[in-house]
Chain A
Amino acid sequence: MAEDLNWAIGGEAGDGIDSTGKIFAQALSRAGRHVFTSKDFASRIRGGYTAYKIRTSTDRVRSVVDRLDILVALTQRTIDENVDELHDGSVVIYDGERSWDAEIPEGVVGVDVPLKSLAEDAGGAIMRNVVALGAACEIASFSIENLDEALAKRFSSKGEKLVENNKQAARLGQEYVQEHYAEDLPEYSLAETDEDYVLLNGDEAIGMGAIAAGCRFYSGYPITPATDVMEYLTGRIDRYGGHVVQAEDELSAINMALGAARSGARAMTATSGPGIDLMTETFGLVATSETPLVICDVMRSGPSTGMPTKQEQGDLNMALYGGHGEVPRFVLAPTTISECFHKTIEAFNLAEKYQVPVYLVSDLAMAVTERTFRPEEFDMDEVEVERGNVVDEDDIDQYLDEQDRFQPHYDAADGISPRAFPGTEGGAHMSTGLEHNELGRRTEDTDERIKQVDKRNRKVETAQREEEWDYREYGDADADALVISWGSNEGAMVEALDYLDDEGIDVRFISVPYIFPRPDLTEAVEAAEQVIVVECNEQGQFADLLEHDTLTRLKRVNKYNGVRFKADELADDIKAKLEAEVTA
């Protein structure tokens, strides 16, 4: 009896694949099961293969694997695309009444359910996917009442009748399987637990973190896969007196956010690579005017328009180095969905404490993946809002010059100047992207220039000293082999450790959520015999950075075909790298 179940539904874009998958994921999560979802989608609205995959277990699930137990195939292509993941005893649910003759691979159990006809019996052909969900519940021995709840959540705003029809559709699917296939099915049993999980994706976690942190102004321009951040905030941020503006482009989006931040609001914009390109000029202005701003880059595959619906971690160099001239910026890269929430909050605090732009770098795999969590992982009581050195009319005196003029770029010892929000009496000042003096006025004086460059950089030194730039560690701390990764690879890598362990390979794994400033890994690297850096790009941008830090050549596992790492595959890659060294 398998505890883990890998389920998927696939068809053409426009077939309602996404919402059907989501309903099933919610049903599983409500039954106290852990869920990890992933999506395969093409960059088109109708037509083109698309799939929604769910891995579920009573244990925490952190990644996808190359294995499918139950597949709902609305097209032959769905079967063909996934044939490598089907195994002896996998079940494919299909509708034999449809025009295609499903070719079911050897060893796989085909379950032919007249999805469309049964849906029509329940009130409309559109519910055929729900019929399939009912069938899947029966096959997986999963109680269908859980599905009822998810259907109610999804359709109750559209009326009781629709909810009832959907429940009925699911029942018809269930009964059909009971009647026709009771004997031939492999045994699955989806145990339920008492846990109440929440199910959310990385973009939603970023949006939720932003509101919790007091972000009240968001301006953005739609782009895959960052749009969910904007969609999350729209309709929610206004409950707290905030606002979302859909700007005319990314140039405008970042400038609006900058304006709001200068008004004293916590402001954010989110985009993906091409949008970051457009924002880069203003990024320099944000940094030199020392405006706190959170700029979120949900990476996708580049360059140029690249593969908009595919995974990559190729923008790290841009976040670190993008823009002309030299300015400090912080770069945070959450490694899990719950960290998307926590790091967003941290990003706002760091931005305001140090008056710097903070890049929050996430990626497509995190953005389109939903995962279950205990609600306590998003503990709102723990959220602290630190606004840094904001002055009001009473304490402004210490920052006035001899002519009583406020100095927004005051040359403080720790590099952190005062901020006076507009409206503060006596605080009127200007700031500019031109090099400026402490008053904010343009200067080309050589001493003033050096003073301001040094002042801006001193903030980094202060932050390096005062904040904890830590990392998470897994596996065997004393192992000879060390694997390091950043961003969303953590989940797959943690599971890969189990696979490696099964083969007797001990690995120490370090997952780094800070790109700049970042923890010093020199000691860990020196202590290991072999070091491998894992990332979803071709050039090994993070590996380059670490080599620069540690002055040691590191090995790399890079994936850049547009698909995230899978745990089992990653274990194989690591094993191969380690062995290559031994036999070399």
Chain B
Amino acid sequence: MSSDVRFTDFKSDKQPTWCPGCGDFGTMNGMMKALAETGNDPDNTFVCAGIGCSGKIGTYMHSYALHGVHGRALPVGTGVKLANPDLEVMVAGGDGDGYSIGAGHFIHAVRRNVDMTYVVMDNRIYGLTKGQASPTSREDFETSTTPEGPKQPPVNPLALALAAGGTFIAQSFSSDAQRHTEIVKRAVEHDGFGFVNVYSPCVTFNDVDTYDYFRDSIVDLDDEDHDPSDRDAAKKKILDADKEYQGVIYEDENSVPYSDLHGLDSNMSEIPDGAPEDAMDLVREFY
């Protein structure tokens, strides 16, 4: 791991095909900066992504990466990290990818508390499939598949994470570059599952949850004297449906990551070129 890594080292030479102005640019920049500033380099970093505009991120970053199937990036990240604990693992998803098709994995990844970082680019719409309702879309948000709005309340991903026993729960806004980077950095440094929901506006299909809307409504938790180690305080903020917060909402400072609980510290790629030396014992057990 070299100390002189710059965030641009995490950039690939491929130009993003995101729409000009898409929130995902800012989200990705913050992720790259957070990785560089926490002392990682592309050769020890693994980025997993699902499907959606958000999922394209692995193409635009330079690192080891897998762009998988819709909604399943978290299990991939889990396998990567458990098999080689020396890797820095970052998982990216969209609100549809993470909270709809992948919602089951989300809850279990949270409670499993594997030491990795999960960044969700929440634009409250399906971007890549051209503008259908997502699980975080507002109840009255009109889309091609919900002409009168979904008529069901949006999921609250932060609440899901807290209920599932999340040890690091944060939210950021992609266009507040400095705060966003800082928050993702803290997620990377967290011992356990670092979850950041990022408001990452879709300029093409969502004319409600816009940059202007977030700029006007966002409240920074640092301005509110919020104590992230206080779970009850976190719960209040999370359940306050009228506010859009940014900052670290909850962090369990006693978090013990999965690998520590299970005593996992070996790089599983290193194996002997034959059976283990005492392997005949495995046979003798059947006498």
* Chain A positions near chain B (C-beta within 8 angstroms): 29-30, 196-200, 204, 208, 211-214, 216-217, 219, 236, 238, 240-243, 245, 247-249, 251-253, 255-267, 281-282, 285, 289, 375, 378, 380-381, 383-385, 403, 405, 421-434, 441-442
Contact = CB atoms under 8 A, between A and B. Distances in A.
Given A256-B76, A422-B44, 12 more contacts: A30-B287, A214-B272, A217-B82, A247-B108, A251-B105, A258-B76, A423-B86, A428-B62, A431-B65, A432-B58, A432-B68, A433-B67
Contacts of B44: 422-423
Tell me which of A421, A428, A433 has the highest count of chain B C-beta atoms within 10 A of its own C-beta: A428
Interface stretch (B151-159, B197-205, B261-269): B261-269
B287 A198 contact: yes
4 nearest A-B residue pairs (beta carbon): A259-B79, A264-B269, A255-B75, A430-B65
Given A241-B268, A258-B76, A427-B43, A433 B83 contact: no
Contacts of A253: 75
Contacts of B273: 384-385
Nearest to B82: A243
Nearest to A236: B282
B105 A248 contact: yes
Prevailing SS type, chain A contact patch: mixed
A526 to B, nearest CB: 41
A432 B59 CA distance: 9
Contacts of B80: 259-260, 262-263, 422
A199 B59 CA distance: 51
A251 B271 contact: no
Interface string B45-68: 111100000000011011111111
A433 B84 contact: no
Contact of A260 (B42, B82, B274): B82
Contacts of B48: 259
Nearest to B9: A428
In terms of DSSP, what is the predominant structure of the interface of chain B?
A: mixed
Given A249-B104, A264-B84, A385 B77 contact: no
Contacts of B276: 211-212, 240, 380
Given A255-B72, A380-B283, A429 B14 contact: no
Nearest to A434: B67
10 contacts: A197-B287, A198-B284, A212-B275, A217-B82, A259-B81, A405-B13, A427-B64, A430-B59, A430-B61, A432-B59
Contacts of B274: 380-381, 383-385
A260 B268 contact: yes
Contact of B76 (A255, A264, A385, A428): A255
Interface in B243-273: 262-264, 266-269, 271-273
B32 to A, nearest CB: 13
Interface in B8-45: 13-14, 42-45
A265 B286 CA distance: 27
B69 interface: yes
A259 B77 contact: yes
B271 A385 contact: yes
B241 interface: no
A376 to B, nearest CB: 9
Contacts of B271: 214, 216, 266, 385
Contacts of B107: 248
B43 A425 contact: yes
A379 to B, nearest CB: 9
A194 to B, nearest CB: 14
Contacts of A217: 79, 82-83, 268
Nearest to A428: B42
B82 A251 contact: no
B283 A259 contact: no
A2 B153 CA distance: 74
Given A214-B271, A214-B272, A383-B274, A263 B84 contact: yes
Given A243-B262, A265-B269, A208 B283 contact: yes
A216 B43 contact: no
A374 B14 CA distance: 59
A383 B279 contact: yes
A193 B46 CA distance: 57
B87 interface: yes
A429 B284 CA distance: 44
Contacts of A247: 75, 108
B210 interface: no
A391 to B, nearest CB: 13
Contact of B64 (A208, A383, A422): A422
Contacts of A261: 79, 83
Contacts of B100: none
A241 B63 CA distance: 26
A441 B59 contact: yes
B78 interface: yes
A262 B66 contact: yes
Contacts of A256: 75-76, 78-79, 82
A242 B271 CA distance: 10
B83 A267 contact: yes
A291 B266 CA distance: 21
Interface string B72-103: 10111111111110110000000000000000
A380 B280 contact: yes
Given A212-B276, A380-B279, A259 B14 contact: no
Contacts of B266: 216, 241
Contacts of B84: 263-265, 421-423
B181 to A, nearest CB: 21
Contacts of A432: 58-59, 66-68
A282 B68 contact: yes
B104 to A, nearest CB: 6
Nearest to B58: A430
Most chain B beta-carbon neighbours within 10 Å: one of A251, A253, A256, A282: A256
B244 to A, nearest CB: 30
From B104, B263, B275, residue with most partner A Cβ within 10 Å: B275
A433 B68 contact: yes
Contacts of A258: 66, 68, 76, 79
Contacts of A425: 43
B14 A441 contact: yes
A421 B87 CA distance: 11
B67 to A, nearest CB: 4
A213 B274 CA distance: 7
A430 B59 CA distance: 7
Given A259-B83, A383-B279, A430-B59, A251 B72 contact: yes
Contacts of B105: 248, 251-252
Contacts of B64: 262, 422, 427-430
B79 A267 contact: yes
B83 A380 contact: no
A253 B76 CA distance: 9
A265 B59 CA distance: 24
Given A403-B13, A430-B64, A432-B67, A259 B287 contact: no
Nearest to A377: B283
Contacts of A281: 69
Contact of B282 (A208, A262, A267, A384): A208
A282 B67 CA distance: 12
B286 A285 contact: no
Contacts of A212: 275-276, 279, 282
B6 to A, nearest CB: 15
A285 B68 contact: yes
A380 B275 contact: yes
Contacts of A263: 46, 79-81, 83-84, 87, 267-269
The interface centre, meaning the residue of A29, A214, A247 with most chain B CB atoms within 10 A of its CB, is: A214
B108 A248 contact: yes
Contact of B79 (A196, A257, A384): A257
Interface in B109-151: none
